[in-house]
Chain A
Amino acid sequence: MRIERLVTIDRSRLPEPGPSGPASFPAIEKSTLPNGLTVWTVRHAQVPVVAFSLLIRRGASSDPLGKHGLAAMTADMLDEGSGDRSAIEIHEAIARLGTQLETDIGADGIVAGFTVLSRFADRALALLADVVVRPAIRGEDVVRVRQLRLHRLTQLRDVPSVIADRAFLSLIYGDHPYGHSAIGTELSLATMSVDDVRAFHELAIRPSVATLIAVGDCDHAGIHRLALDAFGSWHGVAADGEPANPALPQPPRLSIVPRASAPQSELRIGHVAVARNTPDYHALVTANMVLGGQFSSRINLNLREDKGFTYGARTAFEFRRRPGPFVLQVGVQTSATAQSIAESIGEISAMVSTRPITTDELRLAAASLTRGYARNFETADQIARAATQLALYDLPDTYFAEFVPRVEQLTTDEVTGAVARHLDAARLTTVVVGDYDAVGADLARLGLGEPVILSPETF
């Protein structure tokens, strides 16, 4: 039997997709417990799971001076025993739910949570409260966990991408609360005591700065009731978490952390840029898609697809509550180190001078952000993460619904203007983790001054 062709195809041109339907973000139901804890739920019952996420709006930037790493250490201690239950008993209780506790520590927040089969939702929520509200924080456990973190720090000293990130943050922020990485340093961890951890829990892990988010096969009234039982005894108001901003340093334009005979150089290029609440947010996200935010962006096409210098290059505005960094991250073959830096700075600089974003580029960038927007909200985890962003950055519930039209309405003038306001090629700081003997002479010829040699112990 001959198969009838129902569709005619034309390989002389690509099919033009029709418009995408509107992406809808499901409604968030909200309530507040008497202790100040806000409870958000989203019903998303396609699969019998519930994603729980407890956000604390205090993160590594709340680490006291000299105690860098305390927020992360405290987050790590949450599941190391609760009430009179030992660390092992808590680990086993979580494992019996078929899941594991994830704790994520950022500059502005701590998120603790897990996804469970919905038949375990009640037990999971009670357990989440046990670990967050009533962690045991015993001296012997603090010593053990601190030792593990010190060992981890030792190992990270050999990971080029981590060395580069740490050096970059320290150079551009100095003593600013964003200038250290969440894990802290050997020096700060060495003096961290059980009292420090307990004090941080008392000051920061409090319902006044917390939002409980539950997404999935659950309903708001049920979660509210369970939360009242589980979190009801939690009290207190968190200490002010946003100390004054010290002045930012003026870093050298070019630095290198020597890594003898490294086959690649790990590069970070950027500067302190802009906070999450900037009115230029949509324009910058879109401009970044042109510059380095996706595979088909300028810098990746240049360094990878044209020159073959790297496995991949990316740029990002890392939006935070206070001005976060703009950064280019790339690992390049050693022999192409100086040329890659010159090309990268050239691409960044060209966007605000010789090659502003074109209409076609803007259309492509906006389409790649908007047309597939719906896929960002497919799973309970994704929706929980999205809701967490709203809570962390004080965004309105309408934020996701407004994102697509906001981006679609951008003009080239608006995105070019935003880039010019927040990206400054003359202020870029470049950090290289690589083979100094092989690349030092080339670096000196970049016109960025003699490279400053950084010792890993200094950041």
Chain B
Amino acid sequence: MNLSFTRHTLANGLDVLLHEDHDCPIVAINVWYHVGSKNERPGHTGFAHLFEHLMFEGSAHHDHGYFQPLQGAGASLNGSTNSDRTNYWEVVPTAALELGLWMESDRMGYLLPALTEAKFSNQRAVVLNERRQNYENRPYGLSAMAIVAALFPPDHPYHWTTIGDVADLNAVRLEEVHAFFARYYHPANASLTLAGDIDSDHALALVRAYFEEIPAGEKVAPVRAAASLDRDVRILLEDRVELPRLYMAWLSAAMFAEGDADLDLAADVLANGKTSRLYRRLVFEERIATDVSASQNSREIGGYLQLAATASPGHTLGELERVILEEIGRLGTDGPTDDEIERGRVQAEAQFVFRLQTVGGFGGKSDQLNAYNVFLGDPAYFDRDLQRYYSVTNRSLQQATRRYFDPARRVTLSIVPKDRMELAAPDSVPEVVS
């Protein structure tokens, strides 16, 4: 199972990956800029994501909305920002490939002349509404902010979430937009993948014509930062919720690092799906929780494990915590069963094959090639990525569980209904997040 592709690096440093797949008359255009919220500084958070919005507001030679010409050509399109990268994609009919490249290259090369104060303040207002909708006005919506703020020290770039602080967003000035663009949005910090119904030679000629004229920027130095926890940080938030929810989080392996795949599978064994150990105990047997889930959040310069469980009415988060720690301890002591390992591998294989079904969008083949290229410099990593999961053994999963799920070094966050602090895990300290 692998993805055939060719790689070309233009004189200005832009990486170009081409993958031919003629099954469907469409082409995925996918651009990654190696910049995310981890390139921000304290006091200037939320900027990478706000900037992503500005990329859809027009550029020098097409100073109108980005969506209209592409939607009118039958494209679907979107973009997203996370801590480590920002991606943009269009899936266009074969005949609209050149239009897509025109548009992507124009905003890579000529965004700033079209960027006005009015567009900027409009999109800041939109982002503040995105924040209200997805964080402030959503039950448990502030959990991610509280968790990363407690896990990572204030000067660590994972200390904040991509949406940013309201005060920081309100303080951003247009000059900062210009500096940010110059530093991060240039060919040498980007990777462009075309996947789908293309002729590689012709596609490359088009890419050269549209992108090679964009000046090379300066290479961006990797961000470095370290985090460690020396205790169990126990905090609580009151929220407009009916049922209290317990979150536990641990610092863990970075993306693709040793232990990352083990922890992915450990999270599944513990808490994902109706076969997981914690679903069985908390939800199925003891019925003290209504749901449970876990994830290994792998990121470029570090990762964190997160486990969440919502208490059934009449039960406290302390009860949940006790059972969760017991089950983590048991996995660390006895390791997983053969059946659990086998299920984990089959699920990993299925997820990899499912991703091969589509050329575009988030997580499709074009996005995957760019991910491997940007994070590893190796777009051919697909097979080895899957191999990481096949290589997980009972013993390696057990060891990773012992090493990373350390009960003495974690964040324990209780989110409880207003005025119901007694439902929180014991010894939790109220926190304010907004």
Q: Is A47 within 8 A of B356, CB to CB?
A: yes
Q: Is A9 within 8 A of B71, CB to CB?
A: no
**B407 part of interface (Cβ distance < 8 Å):** no
A377 to B25, CA, bound (A): 10
**Known contacts A98-B350, A296-B71, A308 near B139 by CB under 8 Å:** no
The listed residue (B26, B139, B313) touching A375 by CB distance below 8 A is B26
**Known contacts A117-B353, A305-B65, A6 near B209 by CB under 8 Å:** yes
A407 to B354, CA, bound (A): 32
Among B26, B69, B129, B342, find the residue whose CB has the most chain A CB atoms closer than 10 A.
B129
Least distance between A342 CB and chain B CB atoms (Å): 18
Residues of A within 8 A of B354 (CB): 49, 115
Q: Is B68 within 8 A of A296, CB to CB?
A: yes
Residues of B within 8 A of A249 (CB): none
Residues of B within 8 A of A380 (CB): 357
Smallest CB gap from B274: residue in A? A91
**A188 part of interface (Cβ distance < 8 Å):** no
**A302 part of interface (Cβ distance < 8 Å):** no
Residues of B within 8 A of A49 (CB): 353-354, 357
The listed residue (B93, B98, B102, B283) touching A372 by CB distance below 8 A is B93
Q: Is A96 within 8 A of B287, CB to CB?
A: no
Q: Is A95 within 8 A of B347, CB to CB?
A: yes
Residues of B within 8 A of A157 (CB): 242
Q: Is A379 within 8 A of B122, CB to CB?
A: no
A296 to B71, CA, bound (A): 8
A158 to B72, CA, bound (A): 38
Q: Is B129 within 8 A of A264, CB to CB?
A: yes
Residues of B within 8 A of A399 (CB): none
Q: Is A9 within 8 A of B242, CB to CB?
A: no
A115 to B355, CA, bound (A): 12
Q: Is B212 within 8 A of A15, CB to CB?
A: no
**Known contacts A9-B209, A11-B106, A378 near B243 by CB under 8 Å:** no
The listed residue (A3, A116, A158, A331) touching B242 by CB distance below 8 A is A158
**Known contacts A368-B74, A377-B24, A9 near B102 by CB under 8 Å:** yes
Residues of A within 8 A of B95 (CB): 17-21, 371
Q: Mark A355-374, 1 if CB is under 8 A from B, else 0.
A: 00000000110011111111
A309 to B124, CA, bound (A): 11
Residues of B within 8 A of A294 (CB): 67, 71
Residues of A within 8 A of B68 (CB): 296, 364
**A427 part of interface (Cβ distance < 8 Å):** no
Least distance between A374 CB and chain B CB atoms (Å): 5
Residues of B within 8 A of A308 (CB): 121-126, 129
Residues of A within 8 A of B61 (CB): 11-12
**B75 part of interface (Cβ distance < 8 Å):** yes
Q: Mark B98-127, 1 if CB is under 8 A from A, else 0.
A: 110011001000100000000001111110
Q: Which residues of B from 355 to 396 have beta carbons under 8 Å from A?
A: 356-360
**Known contacts A305-B65, A374-B25, A367 near B125 by CB under 8 Å:** no
Interface residue stretch chosen among A147-155, A197-205, A226-234, A446-454: A147-155
Q: Is A263 within 8 A of B132, CB to CB?
A: yes
Residues of B within 8 A of A11 (CB): 60-61, 102, 106, 110
Q: Which residues of B from 244 to 290 have beta carbons under 8 Å from A?
A: 273-275, 280, 283-284, 287, 290
The listed residue (A20, A151, A333, A379) touching B94 by CB distance below 8 A is A20
Q: Is A262 within 8 A of B137, CB to CB?
A: yes
Q: Is A331 within 8 A of B129, CB to CB?
A: yes
Q: Is B273 within 8 A of A91, CB to CB?
A: yes
**A426 part of interface (Cβ distance < 8 Å):** no
Q: Is B353 within 8 A of A48, CB to CB?
A: yes
A157 to B139, CA, bound (A): 10
Least distance between B367 CB and chain A CB atoms (Å): 14
Q: Which residues of B from 266 to 322 have beta carbons under 8 Å from A?
A: 273-275, 280, 283-284, 287, 290, 310, 312-313
A236 to B343, CA, bound (A): 36
Q: Is B23 within 8 A of A46, CB to CB?
A: yes
Q: Is B71 within 8 A of A364, CB to CB?
A: yes
A12 to B110, CA, bound (A): 13
> How many cross-chain pairs have Cβ atoms below 8 Å apart between A and B?
231
Q: Is B65 within 8 A of A374, CB to CB?
A: no
Smallest CB gap from A16: residue in B? B99
Smallest CB gap from B417: residue in A? A158
Q: Is A147 within 8 A of B287, CB to CB?
A: yes
Least distance between A146 CB and chain B CB atoms (Å): 12
Residues of B within 8 A of A363 (CB): 72
The listed residue (A9, A263, A295) touching B210 by CB distance below 8 A is A9
Q: Mark B185-215, 1 if CB is under 8 A from A, else 0.
A: 0000000000000000000011011101000
Q: Is A3 within 8 A of B126, CB to CB?
A: no
A159 to B159, CA, bound (A): 27
Smallest CB gap from A369: residue in B? B74
**Known contacts A17-B98, A368-B74, A378-B24, A98 near B126 by CB under 8 Å:** no
**A247 part of interface (Cβ distance < 8 Å):** no
Residues of B within 8 A of A311 (CB): 126, 129-130, 133-134
Least distance between B122 CB and chain A CB atoms (Å): 5
Residues of B within 8 A of A14 (CB): 62, 69, 99, 102-103
Q: Is B26 within 8 A of A310, CB to CB?
A: no
A158 to B137, CA, bound (A): 9
The listed residue (A15, A266, A371) touching B74 by CB distance below 8 A is A371
A357 to B287, CA, bound (A): 56
Least distance between A160 CB and chain B CB atoms (Å): 6
Residues of B within 8 A of A208 (CB): none
Q: Mark A83-98, 1 if CB is under 8 A from B, else 0.
A: 0000110011001111
Q: Is B96 within 8 A of A17, CB to CB?
A: yes
Q: Which residues of B from 18 to 36 have beta carbons under 8 Å from A?
A: 23-26
Q: Is A159 within 8 A of B212, CB to CB?
A: no
**B219 part of interface (Cβ distance < 8 Å):** no
**B136 part of interface (Cβ distance < 8 Å):** yes
Q: Is A5 within 8 A of B209, CB to CB?
A: yes
**A332 part of interface (Cβ distance < 8 Å):** yes
The listed residue (A8, A116, A155) touching B310 by CB distance below 8 A is A155
**A100 part of interface (Cβ distance < 8 Å):** yes
**B178 part of interface (Cβ distance < 8 Å):** no
The 10 A-B pairs with the shortest beta carbon distances in the complex, nearest first, are: A371-B74, A308-B125, A372-B74, A98-B350, A17-B96, A98-B346, A6-B205, A7-B209, A311-B130, A91-B274
Instruction: Provide 19 A-B residue pairs closer than 8 Å at the C-beta atoms, listed in order of the A residue.
Output: A3-B212, A6-B208, A17-B96, A23-B25, A49-B354, A116-B350, A117-B349, A151-B310, A155-B242, A159-B139, A263-B136, A295-B71, A308-B124, A311-B126, A364-B72, A368-B71, A372-B74, A373-B74, A375-B360
Contacts A6-B208, A15-B98, A158-B139 supplied; 11 other A-B pairs, CB < 8 Å: A11-B110, A14-B69, A20-B94, A20-B96, A95-B343, A96-B346, A307-B122, A311-B133, A331-B137, A333-B129, A380-B357
